Amino acid sequence: MILRKSAKEIELMAAAGAVVASTLALAHERLEPGITMVELDRILEEHIVSHGAKPTSKGYKGYPAATCISPNEMIVHGIPGPYAAQEGDVISVDVGVTKDGWITDSCATFGVGEISTEAQALLDACQAALDAGIEAAQLGAVIGDISEAVQTVVEGAGFSVVRTLVGHGVGKHYHEDPQVPNFVTSYRGPELREGMTIAIEPMITAGGPDVYIHDDGWSISSEDGSLTAHFEHTVAITADGPRVLTRPARVLVP
Ligand code: MF3
Ligand code: CO
């Protein structure tokens, strides 16, 4: 069942989204060689809490940290640990926050210092795929239009879309209907209607599309060890077009 949100509820989600956006901006600022993932997670959790919000991931199905931080070949759900960022890494930081009962979800992949040309191309393609997916999220379109837009950009750049992980509705719950795949199937999904709020999140690799779950039961990496990228925004479907609820404000970090 797709839960649509009123204009007032979308404003509440946008307030949660502002916290997510400033948290990711802070992650970008602090992600320098030497910082450990667990240190970064602590900094981000403090930021979230000091802005009157809660990290949605913490305790979600038993997840042990505030954020998911996934370096290099790890694509999602990395549990922040002792790994220290190194020059040339690409590190995905996935943040969900709950504020006044409303959740938004966003992720960005950041390069640490100088990164390779291929790594930069991967990040650029994933960001462009997310932008295309958002642009396709128009009233009257269907979920499959978003999927197609994302897949076209990613595969056009020579990269692969992961099949076993998908975007999702978001609101009172972290994961709501509908699913938002990053690839096309014969089922093109429900029509986009006013008040739907969805997390669009291309998860891509520089190699093949297959992934595996680590023994910790959470972290997921590319099967072939290739570099990965993940960008995500929470988007509301409105009569004026897609509204990104997790876009950074002009002043990124207060
Ligand atoms: N933010 C993730 C998503 O996009 C969900 C993380 S769930 C967690 O769906 F428990 F791993 F944090
Ligand atoms: Co998500």
> pTM here?
0.97
Distance from Cα 67 to the centre of ligand 2, integer Å = 12
- Quote the percentage of the chain above a pLDDT of 90: 97
- Asked if residue 167 has its Cβ within 6 Å of ligand 1, the reply is no
217 pLDDT higher than 80: yes
Name the residue range of residue 200's domain: 7-244
The CA 57 to ligand 1 mean position distance, Å, reads: 6
Stretch 148-167: mean pLDDT: 98
Q: Is residue 252, in this structure, part of any structural domain at all? A: no
Asked, for residue 61, whether it belongs to a domain, the answer is yes
Instruction: Note whether residue 249 is domain-resident.
Output: no
pLDDT band at 248 (very low <50, low <70, confident <90, very high): confident
Domain assignment present for 232:
yes
Quick check: 213 pLDDT over 70?
yes
The predicted model gives 170-197 an average pLDDT of 98
CATH of the domain at 167: 3.90.230.10
Cis bond upstream, residue 181 (ω within 30): no
The pair of three-digit structure tokens given for residue 167, joined into one six-digit string: 């975007």
Q: Which of 68, 105, 162 to mutate to test the pocket of ligand 1 (most atoms within 8 A of CB)?
A: 68
Which protein residue has the closest C-alpha to ligand 1 atom 6?
57
* Mean local confidence (pLDDT), 26-33: 98
| Position 253 pLDDT exceeds 80 | no
- CB 68 less than 6 A from any atom of ligand 1: yes
Report yes or no on 1 lying in a domain: no
What average pLDDT score do residues 42-48 get? 98
Q: Is the model's pLDDT at 85 over the cut of 90?
A: yes
Residue 59 lies in a domain: yes
Whether 252 has a pLDDT exceeding 60, the answer reads: no
pLDDT over threshold 80, residue 101: yes
157 CA to centre of ligand 2 in angstroms: 23
Average pLDDT over residues 80-102: 98
Atom number of ligand 1 nearest to Cα 94:
1
Residue 190, pLDDT > 60, answer: yes
Q: What mean pLDDT do residues 193-208 have?
A: 98
- What is the CA(1)–ligand 2 centre distance, in A? 18
For the cut 70, the answer to whether the pLDDT of residue 250 exceeds it is: no
Verify whether ligand 1 is closer than 6 Å to residue 176 (CB atom): no
pLDDT at 124 (0 to 100):
98
Does the residue 54 lie in any domain? yes
pLDDT at 59: 98
Please give the average per-residue pLDDT across 20-27, as a whole number.
98
Query: Ligand 1: does its nearest atom lie under 6 Å from the Cβ of 77?
Result: yes
**Of the residues 76, 98, 175, 198, which should be mutated to test ligand 1's pocket, given the most ligand atoms within 8 Å of the CB?**
76
The pLDDT of 87-102, averaged and rounded, is: 98
167 CA from centroid of ligand 2 (Å): 6
Round the average pLDDT of the chain to a whole number and report it.
Answer: 97
214 contacts: CB under 8 Å, gap ≥ 6? 220, 221
Let me know if residue 69 belongs to a domain.
yes
Q: How many domains does the chain have?
A: 1
Stretch 122-128: mean pLDDT, rounded? 98
Expressed in angstroms and rounded, the spacing between residue 19 Cα and the centre of ligand 2 is 16
